[in-house]
Amino acid sequence: MAKYLVVSTVVTDEVWTADRQYTGAYLGGAGLYAYCGLRLWTDDAAIISGVGEDFFSLHGSWLRENRVCTDGLSIRDPHTPCTVIQYRPDGERTETPRYGKEHYRRMEASPSDMIPFFEDARGVYIFQKIPENYWEIILAEKENNRFSLAWELHANIAAPAHLAQVRKIAEACDILSLNQTEALSLLGFGNLTEAAERLSTWQVPLIYLRAGARGGMILEKGRIIKVPPVSGVHAADPTGAGNSSTAAVLYGFCEGYTPRQCGVMGSISAAKCIAQMGPPPLSGIDRNQLHLLLAQMSES
């Protein structure tokens, strides 16, 4: 069983630019990008998700080339989910499941899918909304198995109506990750500095507030720690930046890095994942170079 687990969907992404140019179909999904963010730092990682019967014919060569652990993948339908991603000029995007929302939901891992993997886990990343009877089971398993849990907030629940529920769940996790748009929407006002100050009062060991090309912030014990982006990176495709960076922050947290180092690891993983269309190559990773960059950025 893997030490680090990613619980989210694996899909085919059909990506369209803001000027409505089709760039192609790529292996993707929040789970795949979070896995990539982890794999830059450790090989001991696995994804838990449903896939279609066509998954390995579509993406098997990439999985084999990059030595992806597939133990947590289960076949649930003839078709692997396909998401049509349409970027807008403001940098935001819409995501439309080609086979419908119900098909997509069938691919999501249930608590019973995850429990067999929890015993050996040190860190678990989950990208999810607030399904009925879901978080009660996950948080009980966290207590029993003593793994660290990172929750990346789903944009669909980033609204004041969900604020009390989000805070209750987040304060039972180790890491809450959300981007600036989600933070402002969740809290109901439009000033990022005030949002960071408000979130820093929550009783969460670490909150990762992502700010895209500007890097982000780590909120820890009432402190607001600015996190720089990696300089000189051309964003060929920003898909998956938040997922990959959150998973890297989880790795840093579990391995005892400082809060700032955790944030920098997130920036590095995001930079690697957006530098090309589709996921980054994971074979031949030079982790010495990654740690050198981590040291340089952490000191600046």
Please report which confidence band the pLDDT of residue 67 belongs to, taking 50, 70 and 90 as the band edges.
very high
Predicted pLDDT of residue 237? 86
Tokens of 59: 């993406």
Q: For residue 172, what are the domain limits?
A: 4-299
pLDDT, tens digit (0-9, with 9 covering 90-100), for 2-41: 999 999 999 999 999 999 999 999 999 999 999 999 999 9
300 pLDDT higher than 80: no
Q: Is the pLDDT of residue 298 over 90?
A: yes
C-alpha 56/C-alpha 271 separation (Å) is: 27
- Given this model, what pLDDT does residue 119 score? 95
Strands (DSSP E) found in 36-155: 45-52, 73-77, 82-87, 93-97, 123-128, 148-153
Q: What percent of the chain is predicted at pLDDT more than 70?
A: 100
CATH number for the domain including 9?
Answer: 3.40.1190.20
Number of domains within the chain: 1
Residue pair 138/172 in contact by the 8 Å Cβ criterion:
no
Closest Cα partner for 108 from 141, 131, 78? 131
CA distance 201 to 203: 6
Q: How far apart are CA 175 and CA 23, in angstroms?
A: 34
Which letter does DSSP use for residue 158 in this model? -
pLDDT computed for residue 235 by the predictor: 87
Output the CA–CA distances (angstroms, integers) from residue 296 to 43, 67, 118, 225, in the order listed: 23, 29, 35, 17
